[in-house]
């Protein structure tokens, strides 16, 4: 790919989004061979350099390997040093009735079985005060690490998996970010696969990986698994490149707009105390055609089952 070819860049970005959705669909359908075939074709067509690393937002030229050596980052040692304090606080909060660690809202579709709970301490370049209030000790410790806070393009979150949980194979959204897991509570029987390596966490130890590589998690143990997740900019990104990455951190308003655009919504608002959405014209037309085709005036989804509302009997 020539750097000058802007049109080509746009095209490849569209192709990455298309392939990304397609591979996710096959993974959702638990048809891994089909997903692999698509990934292989994408690589053949120059969409990504390798079939396992499939970020929709792919920055070419960054050192690409699934796992990075934690000792290459000063703060992993610092985190491990403070592990007892962090763990004590997290344990206490998780057992409390007011725990802010709740079923994930954004990543729920990746959960094939079980339950995946999260709480974000930091995101979009800002501390999330409501959550941080539960974790003052941990927040204070993390505040000392600019790489995962002021200079972080990502999130800090507590992630809890209940026994029996499966998180399907997926890729993170960008390879410009590396992800650190500090193992808080790790029962036996829990594994994470990153590309072709199957790993287990260790309590009090950090794991650094490139989550743009396909990864999946299996929890066959008997107790909850808890890790603290921290994002940092890829170390190859420095100076202007990193500034640009940070400048792209979304405002909450951007998230609302993205939320609406992803879903084809024209309007969101509250009616009778409940949130209601109205589709944008294109989505409305498409849906109206589906409803007309099914001869329905309304529909309710219950799991994978549709329940129809049809026009009332002739008057």
* Residue count of the chain: 315
Shortest Cβ distance from residue 44 to other proteins (Å)?
8
Nearer to other proteins, 143 or 299 (CB): 299
Shortest Cβ distance from residue 48 to other proteins (Å)?
13
Shortest Cβ distance from residue 234 to other proteins (Å)?
26
Give the C-alpha separation, 55 to 44, whole Å. 16
Shortest Cβ distance from residue 128 to other proteins (Å)?
8
Shortest Cβ distance from residue 120 to other proteins (Å)?
9
Give the C-alpha separation, 192 to 190, whole Å. 7
Q: Which two tokens stand for residue 178?
A: 């590396």
State the Cα torsion 238-79-162-123 to the nearest 10°.
-40
Q: What backbone torsions phi and psi does residue 264 show, to the nearest 5 degrees? A: 65, 40
Q: What backbone torsions phi and psi does residue 81 show, to the nearest 5 degrees? A: -60, -40
Instruction: Give DSSP secondary structure letters for 106-128.
Output: SSGGGEEES-EEEEEEEETTEE-
State the Cα torsion 145-134-156-243 to the nearest 10°.
-60
Nearer to other proteins, 21 or 197 (CB): 21
Task: Compute the chain's Rg from CA coordinates.
Answer: 22
Nearer to other proteins, 114 or 279 (CB): 279
Nearer to other proteins, 61 or 303 (CB): 303
Shortest Cβ distance from residue 228 to other proteins (Å)?
20
Nearer to other proteins, 92 or 310 (CB): 310
Question: Residue 199: CB partners within 8 Å, gap ≥ 6?
Answer: 67, 191, 192, 193, 207
Give the C-alpha separation, 315 to 312, whole Å. 8
Nearer to other proteins, 106 or 220 (CB): 106
Residue 179 buriedness (CB in 10 A; 0-12 / 13-18 / 19+): buried
Shortest Cβ distance from residue 4 to other proteins (Å)?
16
In sign, the C-alpha dihedral spanning 104, 83, 190, 73 is positive
Shortest Cβ distance from residue 287 to other proteins (Å)?
6
Nearer to other proteins, 67 or 296 (CB): 296
Nearer to other proteins, 95 or 300 (CB): 300
CA of residue 83 relative to chain centroid, distance: 24
């Amino acid at each position: 790919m020539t750097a000058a070819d802007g049109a080509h860049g746009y095209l490849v970005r569209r192709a990455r989004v298309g392939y990304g959705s397609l591979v996710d669909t096959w993974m959702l359908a638990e048809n891994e061979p089909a997903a692999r075939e698509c990934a292989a074709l994408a690589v053949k067509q120059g969409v990504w350099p390798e079939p396992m690393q499939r970020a929709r937002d792919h920055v070419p030229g960054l050192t690409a390997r699934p796992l990075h050596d934690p000792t290459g980052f000063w703060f992993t040692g610092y985190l491990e040093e403070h592990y007892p304090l962090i763990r004590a606080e997290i344990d206490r909060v998780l057992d409390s009735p007011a725990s802010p660690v709740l079923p994930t809202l954004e990543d729920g579709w990746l959960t094939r079985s079980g339950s995946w709970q999260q709480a974000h301490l930091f995101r979009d370049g800002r501390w999330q005060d409501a959550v941080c209030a539960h974790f003052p000790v941990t927040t204070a410790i993390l505040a000392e690490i600019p790489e995962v806070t002021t200079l972080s393009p990502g999130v800090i979150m507590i992630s809890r998996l209940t026994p029996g949980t499966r998180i399907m194979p997926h890729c993170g959204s960008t390879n410009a970010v590396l992800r650190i897991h500090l193992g808080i509570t790790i029962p036996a029987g829990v594994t994470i696969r990153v590309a072709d390596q199957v790993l287990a966490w260790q309590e009090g130890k950090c794991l650094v990986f490139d989550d743009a590589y396909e990864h999946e998690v299996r929890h066959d143990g008997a107790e909850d698994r808890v890790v603290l997740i921290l994002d940092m900019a890829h170390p190859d990104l420095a100076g202007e490149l990193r500034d640009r990455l940070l400048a792209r951190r979304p405002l909450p308003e951007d998230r609302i707009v993205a939320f609406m655009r992803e879903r084809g919504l024209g309007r969101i608002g509250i009616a009778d105390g409940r949130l209601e959405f109205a589709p944008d014209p294109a989505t409305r037309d498409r849906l109206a055609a589906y409803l007309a085709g099914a001869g329905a005036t309304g529909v309710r989804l219950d799991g994978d089952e549709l329940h129809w509302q049809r026009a009332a009997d002739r008057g």
